[in-house]
């Protein structure tokens, strides 16, 4: 009994304390405020409008969680919160955390219901439209969602731009491109590439604003459309990031076939997300992401590299391989 300790159980069981503390800090723009200049307790409390009872514990909890530093009573961002959570920097990834705070945090309180019923617990819970329709009906929500996608995908996008052998390919299509960070990073890193972002028409203005901000409007265009109804535009490389996990098996296989049809001979198909390890026992993030798909979609689920390789093989792809990208993310590559 001596070596048995409850630490891990308690740390995970009460993990929402730490999670919500960080999400509220992002909501109140603590890191954006401190990026302007370090501040003492009273100044920071006044700027953010916190109650005197809460402020010291809140900021010091952020110190203990290693999201802030405190020296001689003055609070500073850490190097990583300054880089990733200052809203005014292009490196801001807080969009994902803003969406986690507004949507996922309340929806996940219904996880037990989802586990028992198999039914989504987001806007669709009350019989609302599918999540993309619900998000896309309101421009502010749409933008929050698309920026959240950039936040969750940016590190993997940089890894794909760095690791894939781009020199033999020219036209690159990103399917379900959202704000367009993946095609932007690939095009920024490889001057010979011409990019296409494909997504629902409502996404166009947010995509074009992002591409313009990266000065790539001459080399990347947006093609509006639905991959449910139309063929994909032709390209030498077709990419799908966090697309297949939104849908059931039949739709997943249909999308893999559409990628095959859109590719030129010798072209490459890149599927990426938090691909679950084949033993389904170590990629915690991938497995939890699949539960997030239970909450968020009608019948989507995440999958292993072996699953995806099999769907690609059935569609006709050859030389299929799984390559790790960063953190929980991997890509599966197949050649036509
Ligand atoms: C989970 S997001 C992934 C975004 C991005 N690829 C990434 O990895 O960050 C799914 C994307 O698929 C797009 N999408 C959903 N249904 C679609 C459809 N029928 N046709 C085209 N795009 C669609 C959404 O608009 C959204 O941008």
Whole-prediction pTM: 0.93
Closest by CA position to 220, among listed 274, 250, 192, 183: 183
Give me the phi and psi of 11, to 5 degrees please: -65, -45
Take atom 2 of ligand 1 and give the residue whose Cα is closest. 242
Reading the block at residue 56, the tokens are: 């010291």
Q: Is 96 in the pocket of ligand 1 (CB under 6 A)?
A: no
Using the atom order of ligand 1, give the atom closest to the CA of residue 240.
6
Cα 189 to Cα 175, 183, 184, 227, 327, distances in angstroms? 19, 10, 9, 27, 21
Q: Ligand 1 centroid to 175 CA: how many Å?
A: 7
Across the chain, the runs of DSSP E, i.e. the strands, are 39-40, 68-71, 74-77, 171-175, 194-199, 220-224, 235-241, 263-273, 318-326, 329-335
The set of residues, in sequence order, having a beta carbon less than 8 Å from that of 316 and lying 6+ positions away, is: 260, 336
The set of residues, in sequence order, having a beta carbon less than 8 Å from that of 131 and lying 6+ positions away, is: 120, 122, 123, 124, 296, 297
The rounded distance, in Å, linking the Cα atoms of 20 and 22 is 5
Residue with tokens 């514990």: 57
Give the pLDDT confidence of 18-59 residue by residue, as tens digits.
999 999 999 999 999 999 999 999 999 999 999 999 999 999
Among 96, 160, 178, residue to substitute to test ligand 1 (most atoms within 8 Å of Cβ): 178
Take atom 3 of ligand 1 and give the residue whose Cα is closest. 242
The rounded distance, in Å, linking the Cα atoms of 122 and 106 is 9
The rounded distance, in Å, linking the Cα atoms of 241 and 70 is 39
Buried b (16+ CB within 10 A) or exposed e, 118-129: eebbbbbeeeee
Q: Ligand 1 centroid to 252 CA: how many Å?
A: 13
Cα 82 to Cα 91, 147, 239, 319, distances in angstroms? 9, 18, 31, 42
Among 130, 141, 151, 199, residue to substitute to test ligand 1 (most atoms within 8 Å of Cβ): 199
3-state secondary structure of 262: helix
Secondary structure tally for the chain: helices H, strands E: 16, 10
Cβ pair 145, 205 in contact under 8 A: no
Q: Is 124 in the pocket of ligand 1 (CB under 6 A)?
A: no
Q: Is 199 in the pocket of ligand 1 (CB under 6 A)?
A: yes
Task: List helix spans (H) across the chain.
Answer: 7-13, 15-27, 30-36, 41-48, 52-64, 79-84, 94-99, 105-108, 111-117, 131-136, 139-163, 181-189, 204-213, 249-262, 284-296, 305-315
Reading the block at residue 160, the tokens are: 């794909």
Identified catalytic residue from 190, 192, 245, 324: 245
Residue with tokens 């030129």: 264
Cβ pair 239, 174 in contact under 8 A: yes
Q: Ligand 1 centroid to 92 CA: how many Å?
A: 21
Q: Ligand 1 centroid to 220 CA: how many Å?
A: 17
Closest by CA position to 198, among listed 241, 135, 147: 241
Cβ pair 243, 298 in contact under 8 A: no
Q: Is 227 in the pocket of ligand 1 (CB under 6 A)?
A: yes
Strands 220-224 and 194-199: parallel
Give the pLDDT confidence of 233-249 residue by residue, as tens digits.
999 999 999 999 999 99
Using the atom order of ligand 1, give the atom closest to the CA of residue 229.
19
Q: Is 239 in the pocket of ligand 1 (CB under 6 A)?
A: no
Query: Has 51 been annotated as catalytic?
Result: no
3-state secondary structure of 318: strand
Tens of each residue's pLDDT in the chain, 336 residues: 568 999 999 999 999 999 999 999 999 999 999 999 999 999 999 999 999 999 999 999 999 999 999 999 999 999 999 999 999 998 888 988 998 999 899 999 999 999 999 999 998 887 776 767 777 888 888 888 898 899 889 999 999 999 999 999 999 999 999 999 999 999 999 999 999 999 999 999 999 999 999 999 999 999 999 999 999 999 999 999 999 999 999 999 999 999 999 999 999 999 999 999 999 999 999 999 999 999 999 999 999 999 999 999 999 999 999 999 999 999 999 999
Cβ pair 238, 164 in contact under 8 A: no
The rounded distance, in Å, linking the Cα atoms of 297 and 289 is 12
Q: Ligand 1 centroid to 203 CA: how many Å?
A: 9
Q: Is 226 in the pocket of ligand 1 (CB under 6 A)?
A: yes
Q: Is 143 in the pocket of ligand 1 (CB under 6 A)?
A: no
- Report the DSSP beta bridge partners of residue 268: 237, 335
């Amino acid at each position: 009994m001596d070596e048995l300790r409850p630490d891990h159980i308690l740390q995970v069981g009460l993990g929402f304390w730490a999670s919500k503390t960080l999400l509220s800090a992002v909501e109140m723009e603590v890191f954006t405020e401190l990026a302007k200049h370090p501040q003492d307790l009273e100044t920071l409390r006044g700027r953010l409008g916190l109650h005197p009872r809460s402020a010291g514990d809140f900021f010091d909890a952020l110190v203990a969680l290693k999201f802030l530093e405190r020296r001689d009573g003055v609070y500073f961002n850490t190097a990583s919160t300054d880089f990733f959570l200052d809203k005014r920097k292009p490196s801001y990834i807080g969009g994902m955390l803003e969406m986690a705070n507004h949507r996922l945090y309340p929806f996940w309180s219904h996880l037990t219901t989802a586990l028992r019923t198999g039914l989504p617990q987001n806007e669709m819970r009350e019989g609302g439209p599918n999540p993309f329709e619900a998000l896309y009906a309101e421009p502010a929500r749409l933008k929050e969602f698309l920026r959240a996608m950039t936040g969750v995908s940016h590190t993997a996008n940089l890894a794909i731009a760095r690791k894939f052998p781009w020199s033999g390919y020219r036209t690159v299509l990103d399917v379900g491109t959202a704000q367009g960070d993946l095609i932007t990073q690939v095009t920024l890193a490889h001057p010979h590439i011409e990019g296409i972002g494909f997504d629902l028409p409502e996404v166009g203005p947010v995509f074009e604003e992002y591409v313009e901000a990266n000065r790539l409007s001459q080399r990347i265009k947006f093609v509006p459309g639905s991959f449910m109804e139309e063929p994909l535009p032709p390209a030498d490389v077709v990419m799908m990031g966090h697309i297949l996990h939104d849908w059931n098996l039949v739709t997943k296989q249909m999308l893999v076939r559409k990628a095959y049809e859109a590719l030129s001979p010798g072209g490459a198909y890149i599927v990426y997300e938090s691909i679950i390890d084949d033993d389904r026992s170590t990629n915690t993030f991938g497995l939890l992401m699949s539960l997030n798909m239970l909450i968020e979609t009608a019948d989507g689920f995440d999958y292993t590299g072996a699953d995806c390789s099999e769907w690609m093989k059935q569609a006709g792809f050859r030389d299929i391989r799984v390559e790790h990208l960063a953190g929980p993310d991997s890509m599966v590559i197949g050649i036509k």
